[in-house]
Each structure stands twice: as structure tokens, then as C-alpha cells.
Structure 1
């Protein structure tokens, strides 16, 4: 039974490693492309736009009566 809990305790480490690997593989090409100023400006705009979109969607889901 001790071996079972030892194996289960490793899963959070695997999950964190997978999440960090996905973020690293997603951000690496973006960082390499950001050396061009026009691309860097468009990436910053895309991140800001994504943040505001996520913010308003979550706000609309949590406080639906404030949309009126």
C-alpha cells in the first residue's frame, strides 16, 4: 500500500512538468519572433486583447446582471 501512495504522490509533479513544458514550447517561438518590432507590438496587442476577452467573459459569467 505504501508503494501505491508513493506513486500517487508523483502525479502532481508530472502535471506541473507537463504544464510548464507546454508553456515553454508555446512561448519559445513567440519570444524568437518578438525581435521584429512590428511582430512584438502585435504580440503585445494579442495578449492584451486576450486578457480583456477573458476578463469580460468571466465577469459576464459571474455577474450576469451587471451587463444591463
Structure 2
């Protein structure tokens, strides 16, 4: 299973390829969709990081 960071890198790579007419890309709709997915994944990663930090601060000390 791929990590979120691996998936983000793959989406970025696909998005760049979709924008490059030399690689058969150039369809703006595909690039726009990939960009949207990339932004959603980044936002999800940010929220997960914040949640992990909050839970660690709130409950982490109780495990010691």
C-alpha cells in the first residue's frame, strides 16, 4: 500500500505529464482533475497531521 506522500508524488507526476503536449498530454481537463485531487490529498494530509499532533499532545503524556 502506498503512503499518502507516494500518492501525492504520483499525482504530481501524472499532472505534469498531462500538461505536457509532447507526452501526449495537453488535455486541460485531465490536468485540472489531477490538480484538484492533489490539492484534496494535501489538505487531507495536513488535517491528519494536525489531528495526530493534537492527539499526541492531549493523550501522549498519559502513556508514559
TM-score of the aligned structures, taking structure 1 as reference length:
0.41
Structure number, greater radius of gyration: 1
